[in-house]
Structure 1
Amino acid sequence: MSRLTRLGLATGAAAAVVAAVVLAASPAVAGEPAVTQPHIVAHFDLAAGQSPENLTVEPDGSADLTFASARQVAHVSRDGHTTIRATLPDEPNAGTPVLKAPTVFGIARAHDGTLYVDYATGTGKTGIWRIAPDGGAPRQIAQLPATALPNGLALDERHGVLYAADSVQGIVWRVPQTGGAPAVWAEDTALAPVPVTGAGFGANGVKIHGGAVWVSNSDRGTLLRIPLRPNGSAGPVETRATGLDHVDDFTFAAPDGDTAFAALIGDNEVAEVHPDGTHTTVLTQADGLSNPTSVAVHDGTLYVDSAAYFTQRDPNLLLARLSCEPGH
C-alpha cells in the first residue's frame, strides 16, 4: 500500500486523490517478456471493504489476497470464484500509523499452504499472523512495535525467516518463520519515507531474489537491492531503479533475471522494470487497472490486483499472459 492519507481506511475509501504523474517510459528490451491478453477474472465489493492489498499464488494458479480494511484473506479460483479464508480480529482502539484503522497488508505462502500476513493496528496486535493450511483462526506469531506499519512480506523458507517492510520507520524486520521476537535486519534513509512532503510510505513491497532482499520505496519511487551476506546480515542498500512514481508492490519476471514488474498505484499502471533501471509501461487503466497494489508471476501469467483506493471504482483481480517474443 502506498500514498494513502492520514484519514485512514475505516470505510475502505481513501480520503484524498493522488495526482497522476506521467512515467518516463523507455523502449522495450529485446528478449524480455511481453504482456498480452489482459483480462479481469474477479470483481470485488468496495462497500464491504474488499480492496485487495497484496496477493500470493497457489500451485494450481488460484490466488490468495488480503482485503485491507475488511481485515480478510480471500481465495480466488482461476475462474474468479471468491471465498473468504480468514478474518483478522478487530481492533476497536486502533491507532495505526498514517491510516488509524486496522489494516491487513502483505501475504506470503509456505510450500505446505500455510499463509502469513502483516497486520497493523497501532496496538499489540501489530505484527505477523499465521493462517494454517486447513483454515482456523489466524494466530499472531510475532509482535512488532505499535509504531510500526508492516507492509510487504516475504518468506525465505530455505533459512526459515520472514522479512517485513516497515513503511513508516524505514526498516526491514526479520522474524523466524516459527514465530518469535523480531529483529531489525536493515534500516536506512533509502528505506524511509520522505519527510514533510512525502505521503508517509517508504519501504513497501519486499521480495527475496538473487541472493538479496529487494524493496520498493513508495515516497522515493525507487527499487532497492539489499545483499544477503553469508552470515545472513544485510549488505549496503543499492538503488537499482528510480522514477517509479507511486510504486507499491513488485515482483520478478523470472527467478534467474532482474526484470521486474511494479504496480504504480497512483498512475493506474504496471511498469516493466528492466535490469538497467529503465522502465516501460505494460498495463494501464484502459486494461482494467484501478489503483493496482500488488503483482505476482506464476506459470507464464502475470497477476495484478487493484484496490480502487482513489478511483473508488471496481477493485479487481486481473490476469495477463507473459511471453518472450522475438524483437521484444
Structure 2
Amino acid sequence: MAYYQRELAPDIPPLSARRPLINEYFLSAYTMSIYTGCELGCPYCDSWVFNERPLNETIVIPVDLPQRLDNVLPTIDRGDLIAISALSDPYQPAEQEYRITRQVLQVLADHRQPCLIMTKSPLVLEDRSLLQRMNEHSLAIVVTTLLTLDQHLATRLEGRSPSPQLRLEMIAELKRSGVPVGVALVPIIPYVNDTNLNLRRVLHACAEVGVDFVIWDYLHIPNERHRHRISVLLSQLGSYPPRYYRDVYRDQATVNLIYRQERDRELLQRCDELGLAPRAPHRLFAGKLSPRNEVALLLRHAAFRDRVQGREHLATLHRELADAVFRGRFKASDLRQSPLYPTIGPLLGLSAVT
C-alpha cells in the first residue's frame, strides 16, 4: 500500500518546456505528469531512476495542479498537443480517490487543448464521455501499453497493473465510444517479449479490437542503477547470461542498430499485413493540430518507414524537414525535395505544384 502525500506546488510549472522536436509517438509538443510516483511500479520502467526512494512507495497528490494548468494554458498554442504520459500512470489507484486527472482533463476541455493520455487502467472508462466531447471539439487520444498476452509473463513484468485482457476490453470500449485509441508495445524487452510469436499475437489482438494505431520502442537502460534493476528482473524470469545484454546493448542506454532494424522490419511487416497503422494515422489529427505540427508528424512518420525499409537518404531528408518545420525554420525549396510535398505544401499555405 502506497503512502499518499497531498501537496501544493504553486512555483512548479504544470507542463514540461516545449519540446525541441515533436514527439512522433505521442504527437506531443508538451508532456505532463499528474501524480509523482506510481503505485503500479513496473520494474522495467525507467521512472525508477528519477526517484531516490522506491517509485511505488509515496504518491504525491498535486491538489493544485488543475488550477496551475488553467493559469498557464492561455500561453500555450491550441495546436500543440499535451501528452499525459510522463513518469507515472494518470489512472493509478490514487485517481479513484482524488480525481486529479479528471480535473486536469476538464481544464484541457475548457481550453480545447488537444491531449493524449497513456494509461494501463480501465479506470479511464469513467471519463469516456468527457474524452468523447474533448475529441469532438479538439483531439483526445488514449494509448495503453501491451507487452504480451501471456498472463503469467504479464504478472511477472507488471503484476500490479490490470491484465492484458482488461486493457484490450478497455480499448474496445473506448473505440465504441468514439475515442481514438492506440497500443504501445513499450518496452520491447530483448529475450523476454521480443519473439516473433509474442509480437504477432499482440498485433493480432490489436487488429481484432480495431485499434487506430500501434507504436513500439525498446527497453531503455539509462544508467547502472537501472541496469542492475533489469538484471534482477531477468534473473526472476529465467536464465539470461549477462553477455546476452552486452551483445544487444553494448553498454549503451538503448539497443544496437542491427537489433533495432531487424525487429522494426518484422513489426512493420506484420502491421502492414494486418492493416495496422504503425504510427497515429493522419486522419486522427488532420486539422486538429497546428499546420506545422501536422506536417512535422507526417514527415517524421514517413522517415520512420523510410528508415525501416532501407531508404536512408529519404529518411534523413524527412527527419531534417520535420525538425525544421516544427521549429518554423523551413524553406519551401527544401520541402519540394520530398515526395510528400503535394500533401504537406498546401497544409503550410504553399502551392501544391512542385
TM, length-normalised to structure 2: 0.27
Structure number with higher strand proportion? 1
Considering Cα pairs closer than 8 Å and 6+ residues apart, tell me whether 1 or 2 has the greater RCO. Answer: 1
Larger radius of gyration: 2
Structure number with higher helix proportion? 2
TM, length-normalised to structure 1: 0.29
